[in-house]
Amino acid sequence: MAEGAYIGAIDQGTTSTRFMVYNSKAHIVASHQVEFTQIMPEAGWVEHDPMEILDTVRVCMEETLKKVGPEVIAGLRGIGITNQRETTVVWSKSSGRPLHNAIVWMDVRSAPICRRLEAELTGGARHFVATAGLPISTYFSATKLLWLMDSVPLVREAIDRGDALFGTIDSWLIWNLTGGARGGLHLTDCSNAARTLLMDLKSLQWHRPTLESLGIPLALLPRIISNSEVMGAVAAGWPAAGVPLAGCLGDQHAATLGQQCKKGHAKSTYGTGCFILLNTGDEIVPSEHGLLTTVGFKLGREAPTNYALEGSIAIAGAAVQWLRDNLQLISKASDTEALAASVPDTGGLYFVPAFGGLFAPWWRDDARGVLVGISRFTGKAHVARATLESMCFQARAVLTAMKSDMKSRHKAGDEEFLLRVDGGASANNLLMQLQADILGAAVLRPADIETTALGAAYAAGLAVGVWTEEQIFEDNHEFAKPTTFTPQIDEESRERRYKSWNLAVERSFGLADLAL
């Protein structure tokens, strides 16, 4: 490890932005976090202002660097980026201004486009699975881009003039941080590109037949790079000007790296959504059970690619925010633990938070949220506990599908399974205990639960020589002594509750039209 060296990490999430500085032992030296506006023009539509996101990045960098001494700033060797995936931006190459608000990953406005593609393309919803590992869904960037191309005249006109650039949030940040309209680099990394529907998982390049079938010009797209390489330097006018940008991963891939997930290891990140990845090594494993096949990480231009199976859950921590902001059952998110712990169980209540549909393993964009089992006995504590359990039941459904996919390929037996966890909601001890109970397996929580930013720092530090890959994956720092949660309920209770949960999920299907 390079003593006296420091690495920065920009963590641009769905509801907030952070900048963190790590020392050579991967300890946090300083950080700053800023929330930003969630724009919801219609039911199921979610947007962000790309310019506001840029402002939060600038503020977080400035405020973090104010908290450290000159020796830290002088020792800053590189910066990594991690970002909310699939969120889609189109901007003007000449002016640098966005041509529309960013369409956020959970937005469902492209559902009619998805239905049209399913009807027109061979194989229906699975048309792109063979190349991209993904089903046709509102979740992925390409369908959002098609909506922008079809519905926003400014976007179509800029594309026709050759003045438009497309990217996910990583591309928007890299382009602006490296100069913007004055020579900014139009890049994306292979983990973010893997979430567009447009990248070939084998070659890690844009798939030309897919672009042609969708009418998307190649010139609109960024160049794809690995997750760990020097891209360019931060431009003048930004904090940390001159420091290399040296790592970039989508948030869940960064957390997988931050959790030191080698082949066969699984992690679950509890944030706005819940995202579970299982590292499958250098093998692309198609899913037979509703999961996504994706890139895990590629730590260098010539490094092997680690692939992954992923189960994406749209609503996890966002359900707690709903309790706070919409129902006003709690004043702050952390109140959920005490409220839910005030009752021994949910009193037979089950909550399916399908606010904008269900992702893996169901892929039902016609689902809507339901509370099942309400009685006169039901109180707000039961609703809070059912909200926590909803995260755990969804995670179990995904992990059950993962085990089935791996067993079907003779890659895993019935050996003891454990789940590594991270993200803000994993600080909730009751939630983690419920997860162990519902999963029937040990849950391991590291001392530092913000492994997304750590993964971005690792990728950047590897590229500039602060760490070696062997040092990143060895167990000699915080992760060596995780907090472990083990199941406390019997198998019969666990299976009975899971069966009831699945019945509740079925009740959520087909309700989208009822909300119109």
Q: pLDDT per residue over 314-342, tens digit each?
A: 889 889 999 999 999 999 999 999 999 99
**Residue 462 corresponds to which tokens in the numbers above?**
């590897």
pTM score, two decimals? Answer: 0.87
What phi and psi values does residue 82 have, to the nearest 5 degrees?
A: -135, 150
Of 439, 433, 357, 358, which Cα lies nearest the Cα of 403?
A: 439
Look-up: residue for tokens 């909730």?
Answer: 428
User: pLDDT value at position 314?
Assistant: 85
What is residue 514's predicted lDDT score, i.e. its pLDDT? 58
Check whether 271 has a pLDDT greater than 50. yes
Tens digit of pLDDT for each residue in 385-439? 999 999 999 999 999 999 888 876 544 444 457 899 988 889 999 999 999 999 9
Residue that the structure tokens 């009751």 belong to: 430
In this predicted structure, the answer to whether residue 476 has a pLDDT above a threshold of 70 is no
Q: Are strands 76-83 and 244-250 parallel, antiparallel or unpaired?
A: parallel
Chain region(s) in the chain for CATH 3.30.420.40: 6-259+448-478, 314-423+494-511
- What DSSP element (H or E) covers 325? helix 317-325
Give the Cα separation of 234 and 122 in Å (integer): 44
Query: Nearest to residue 360, comparing CAs of 291, 444, 289?
Result: 291
Q: Is 443 helix (H, G, I), strand (E, B) or coil?
A: strand
β-strand partners of 281: 307
Average pLDDT over residues 438-456: 91
Q: First and final CA of the chain: distance in angstroms?
A: 58
Helices (H), 235-316: 251-258
Give the H/E segment covering residue 501: helix 491-508
CATH T-level topology, domain 314-423+494-511: Nucleotidyltransferase; domain 5 (3.30.420)
| pLDDT score for 516 | 47
CATH topology for 6-259+448-478 is: Nucleotidyltransferase; domain 5 (3.30.420)
Tokens of 250: 């989508």
What's the mean pLDDT in 342-368? 92
Mean pLDDT score, 274-280: 92
Contacts of 361 (CB under 8 A, 6+ apart): 289, 290, 291, 311, 397, 398, 401
Per DSSP, the residues of 80-138 read EEEE-SS-EEEEETTT--BSSPEEPTT--TTHHHHHHHHHHSTTGGGTTHHHHS--S-T
Residue 272: its pLDDT value, please? 83
Three-class DSSP labels, 336-393: HHHHHHCCCCCCCCEEECCECEECCCCCECCCCCEEECCCCCCCHHHHHHHHHHHHHH
Write down the pLDDT at residue 511. 93
- In 10 A of CB 375, how many CB atoms? 9
C-beta contacts of 204-210 below 8 A and 24+ residues apart: 204/295, 204/298, 204/305, 207/131, 207/132, 210/128, 210/131, 210/132
**Residues 130-137: what's their mean pLDDT?**
94
Beta pairing class for 187-189 and 223-225: parallel
